[in-house]
Structure 1
Amino acid sequence: MSDITEALTQAVADACGRHPSSAGASGTVEWNVPLWSALDQIGITLLSVPEDRGGSDGDLVTAAAVLEILGEHSATVPFAETAMLAGWLLAECSAPIPAGPMTAAVAGPDVTLVEDAGGWVLNGELARVPWGRHADHLVLLVGRHVVTVHRDEVDLRPGANLAGEPRDDVALHRLAVPADRVHPLPADSAVDARLFAARGVVGRLAMMAGAARRSLEMSLAYASERHQFGRPIGGFQSVQQQVAAMAAEVLLCKVAAQSAAQALDSGADWELAVAAAKVSAGSAAGTVARIAHQVHGAIGFTDEHDLRRSTTRIWSWRDEFGSVGEWARELGTLAAAAGADGLWPLLTEGGARAVAG
């Protein structure tokens, strides 16, 4: 980690410490406005957006480092949605990037965008849009167009993931969109639904890595405090073995997120790295959550205990932007396409390019 990235992540950690996120009634998540303002003051809410478009010109490796800190603190802000997805989409077509929190989504086949009388008409529904109710703007990828929609222009049906984070259904009822908010992508742009999903995967993997680290820290602390048969449970070999296995999986989560971010930063041959990272980290993070709850026993499942805030996020995030199974099939397809003679070069040369990037 460079000195600049280390200083940046420390500033983010300090901001999270000053403005901790908390859960509301019935496990719902409260939008952390003070933390978002602090991140905005640091100047990173558009971290991965080019400087000439109003961003900080950071790469995805740096964004992943920031997201790892936010994941560790269970931060209730749409940083990945704003910095890595919505801002990126708008920058790709040289469109104005509005201030404030944003979210982004890919329009499915049921969403239509039709030119009409000098403007456009957007119609259809979007399922489980992250932070929809709190984002000032929703940025949509509709085919080869990027569309900016104001929150008050759509109908929202509130929903949530297992951790209580907003995942809202958005209804677009023949919404009239001015021409200056519909932007065609350049002909040579690599932006598509797969690349959007890959960037989303990197964001979620980085946050999972942070949540996994926090789960390990809490498990180590609890194992030293909880006594059975006259000594801390951390003194028993079986618990030590479980915690050691947990620590290895935490490191795997971090390396997987970094590897996927490096591959996307390289601009080419990212498919293998992202698919492998999703599959390996998804399995590793699940193991971390399982062992953490085994160490804590029943207390770790209660609403009052902080462990639940990390583990429910792990379980939720690993299924977003494609499930582990879907990315495993992608990985298998890549391996089968390479064939017997091409598999080793695919693994070694692709990995080398990702690291070099």
Structure 2
Amino acid sequence: MAEADHEAENIVVATAEKIFADLANPQTINHDKDGRWQAPLWQALSDAGLPLALVPEHLGGAGADLADGFGVLAAAGRFALSVPLAETMLAGWLLAQAGIAPPEGEMTVAPVRPQDAITLHADGTLSGRARGVPFARASRHIAVLVSGASGLSVALVPTDRLRIDTGLNLAFEGSDSVVFDKVEPARIAAVPVGFDQTSLMLMGGVVRSLQIAGALDSLLAITVKYAGDRIAFEKPIAKFQAVQHNLAKLAGESAAALAAATSAADALANATAFDDAVFLEATSAKIRCGEAAEKGAAIAHQVHGAIGFTTEHILHRYSLRALAWRDDFGSESYWAVELGKRITARGADELWPLVASR
């Protein structure tokens, strides 16, 4: 049974990687100034059922488990994918928590920042503001976690009912401010007991951690190849001790991010609730991957020199996205404080057993 599950996961991830390789080649995208690559890519992803991979079959999704979905997201990071696949998968997962069947097309999720909140009024309308919502303007619907007098619910809202103020992240992709002004949702339903905004932030944090780890893996491969090809003083720069030292540090940051992200993904995929163990894994991953993005991007660009900053080179596609993903679903500084609060509340005697159990 375990072997069959493993083969199924390999098929899902292999399908995603083939689509990415065929239709999301970073160099091809860099040279396509009109965005003509987007429609064929999204159509192929939709035909494979990947945007709704985390939605159960009875709600119209592909019914993949979290492990499969996380594998797809890590692969998307390795290709620096710049369409809202991760956001649509996350929105579908959030809607499924409330038993809402997702619509077709691109989606995103709100809120993305822990401090933001959307209010459900007694008349069923929504009010509030969500900042930094990825791909909001490019999406047809937003899955929104809302708070009302009776508790938390998930609402499905068409974007044409919202005011969206355009914004950009470091990678020049949509990071929009969405205003809910007495908006009537298309669907709304309560979430299960125990699910809260922290649950959404932790899930989103694991998603971004996997994407960052994937991007750093590609940054490492690109940088090692460049160092081996670039000749200075009649030999590859990879032969110089200073460059070798930097490559070793970049490899260490990439490995640390991958270990933290995959550990958190495994913990969440096998958990039955967003308990302290999941909190520790997810927050640690977001913190460590954020730090790795900062250090890894700096090293990769240092090795490449000026060429790494040009629009013609693909390096910036990975570095800028890895850096931009740090801010979504809580920055490393936010989660460091929250993790400290959680550990303090548990008490010093509980820290080692919790860490050792992982």
- The TM-score normalised by the length of structure 1 is 0.88
Give the superposition deviation at 1:236.
1.4
**Residue matched to 2:16:** 12
User: What are the within-5 Å matches in structure 2 for residues 40-79 of structure 1?
Assistant: 40-79=46-85
Structure 2, unaligned runs of 5 or more: none
Quick one: which amino acid aligns to residue 313 of structure 1? R
Corresponding residue of 2:102:
97
Q: Determine if the alignment matches structure 1 residue 37 to structure 2 residue 43.
A: yes
Once the two structures are TM-superposed, the CA of residue 220 in structure 1 deviates from its matched residue by: 1.0
Q: CA deviation digits over 1:180-205, x for unaligned, max 9?
A: x121224x3x3211010011111111
- Please tell me whether the aligned partners of residues 23 and 37 of structure 2 are also in contact (alpha carbons under 8 angstroms): no
Instruction: Give a deviation string over 1:138-189, Cα, whole Å, max 9, x none.
Output: 11110112111112111221111000111111222322346xx121224x3x
Report Cα offsets for 1:72-116 as digits up to 9, x if no partner: 2121221222112x2122212222221111111039666432233
Matched, 1:133 2:137: yes
Match of 2:92 among 73, 87, 96: 87
- 1:1-357 matches, cutoff 5 A: 2-20=6-24, 22=29, 32-84=38-90, 86-106=91-111, 111-116=118-123, 120-143=124-147, 144-177=152-185, 181-186=187-192, 188=193, 190-265=194-269, 266-267=271-272, 268=275, 269-349=277-357, 351=358
Q: Secondary structure at the match of 2:347?
A: helix
Whole-angstrom CA distance in 1 between matches of 2:191 and 2:117: 21
Output the CA distance in 2 between the equivalents of 1:342 and 1:221. Answer: 46
- Alpha-carbon shift at residue 209 of structure 1 (Å): 1.1
1:348/1:233 Cα in 2 relative to 1: closer, same or farther (>3 Å)? same
Does the CA-based 8 Å contact 1:49-1:91 persist in structure 2?
A: yes
**Aligned partners of 1:209 and 1:253 also within 8 Å:** yes
Write the distance in 1 (CA, Å) between the matches of 2:339 and 2:191.
Answer: 28
User: Alpha carbons of 1:46 and 1:177: their partners in 2 closer, same or farther (altered >3 Å)?
Assistant: closer
Residues 256-265 or 57-66, more deviating: 57-66
Shift of residue 47, structure 1, vs aligned partner: 1.5
Greater mean alpha carbon deviation, residues 161-170 or residues 328-337? 328-337
Identify the range of structure 1 (42-51 vs 229-238) with the bigger mean alpha-carbon deviation: 42-51
Q: How far apart, in 2, do the equivalents of 1:14 and 1:177 lie?
A: 37
Unaligned stretches of 5+ in structure 1? 352-357
Kept after mapping to 2: 8 A contact 1:159/1:166: yes
- SS of the counterpart of 1:104? strand
Counterparts of 1:100 and 1:109 in 2: how far apart (Å)? 25
State the secondary structure of the residue aligned to 1:115: coil
Cα-Cα RMSD: 2.3
Q: Which moved more, 1:335-344 or 1:70-79?
A: 335-344
The answer on whether the counterparts of 2:117 and 2:129 sit within 8 Å (CA) in structure 1 is: yes
One-letter amino acid of the counterpart of residue 115, structure 1: A
Question: Is contact 2:16–2:50 with CA below 8 Å preserved after alignment?
Answer: no
Moved over 6 A (4+): 27-31, 107-110
Rate the CA distance shift 1:340–1:164 in 2: closer, same or farther, 3 A.
Answer: same
Query: How far did residue 217 of structure 1 move?
Result: 1.2
Q: Deviations over 1:102-137 (max 9, x none)?
A: 111039666432233xxx222332222111111111
Query: SS of the counterpart of 1:2?
Result: helix
Deviates more, 1:309-318 or 1:98-107: 98-107
Task: State whether residues 118 and 145 of structure 2, in contact with CA within 8 Å, keep that contact through their aligned partners in structure 1.
Answer: no
CA contact (8 A) 2:111 2:133 kept: no
Secondary structure of the 1:270 match is helix
**Quick one: distance in 1 between partners of 2:208 and 2:143?**
19
CA change 1:158–1:248 in 2 (3 A) is: same
Quick one: which amino acid aligns to residue 9 of structure 1? V
Moved more, 51-60 or 40-49: 51-60
The offset of 1:57, in angstroms, is 2.6
The Cα shift of 1:51 comes to 2.4
Contact 1:64 1:257 in 2 (8 A): no
Asked whether the equivalents of residues 28 and 164 of structure 1 are also in contact (C-alpha less than 8 Å), the reply is no
Q: Name the amino acid aligned to 2:96.
A: A
**Cα distance change on mapping 1:229 and 1:214 into 2, 3 Å:** same
- The farther-off stretch of 255-264 and 307-316 is 255-264
1:29 Cα shift? 8.0
